[in-house]
Amino acid sequence: MAQDGKGWSRAQMAERAARELQDGYYVNLGIGIPTLVANYVPQGMTVTLQSENGMLGIGPFPYDDEVDADLINAGKQTISELPQSAYFDSAQSFAMIRGGHIDLTVLGAMEVSERGDIANWMIPGKMIKGMGGAMDLVAGVRKIIVVMEHCSRNGDSKFVPECSLPLTGKNVVDMIVTDLAVFQRPETGKPFRLIELAPGITCDEVKSRTTASFEMLDPA
């Protein structure tokens, strides 16, 4: 989390992830920080947001006086609709995902491995409601971006050599945006490369707080 001008805040992480959107994209946003991406779609760009609970065409989060309790995303947050919004059942929603019709998904994670594995659906021993749409998303969507805090609350790296938590998907993550940096894999099977640092953060600081192996930022 950004402190004393160092690193990115949650909103800034979402804004950085939104820079990966492209005109005409169909995009699914996961629970947590990824939902904030809806507020940062670049002006003039047409991006259609999809929610696995059955909505296509999601607008920004509403102001307090605009809230409609019947309009929610998959994380049960109130959202706004657009003139072109469409509604359908979950079966049709998951058919879009499983059929490869979603261009990009932005997800949160508890761990991402240096091989692109992701663990984001459960911690053993803790009560959970179920898998949700995460496993379908990592299997059916063309590009996977993870937005997460770089370290857990106890200071452990969340970008790790190998995930210790139950996996959602293997070798699927294309980009990681944390409060410290951005990592990208040029292609599946290749190592992640550090491509961008958050304000006030150095390569040495990222390296000291990361247990995964990755290629360093190219010298300027």
Q: List the catalytic residues.
A: 52
| Phi/psi of residue 30, nearest 5 degrees | -75, 180
d(CA 101, CA 27): 9
Q: How far apart are CA 146 and CA 55, in angstroms?
A: 22
153 Cβ contact partners less than 8 Å away, ≥ 6 residues apart: none
Contact 97, 52 (CB under 8 A): yes
Residue with tokens 């009560």: 127
Distance CA 45, CA 40 (A): 11
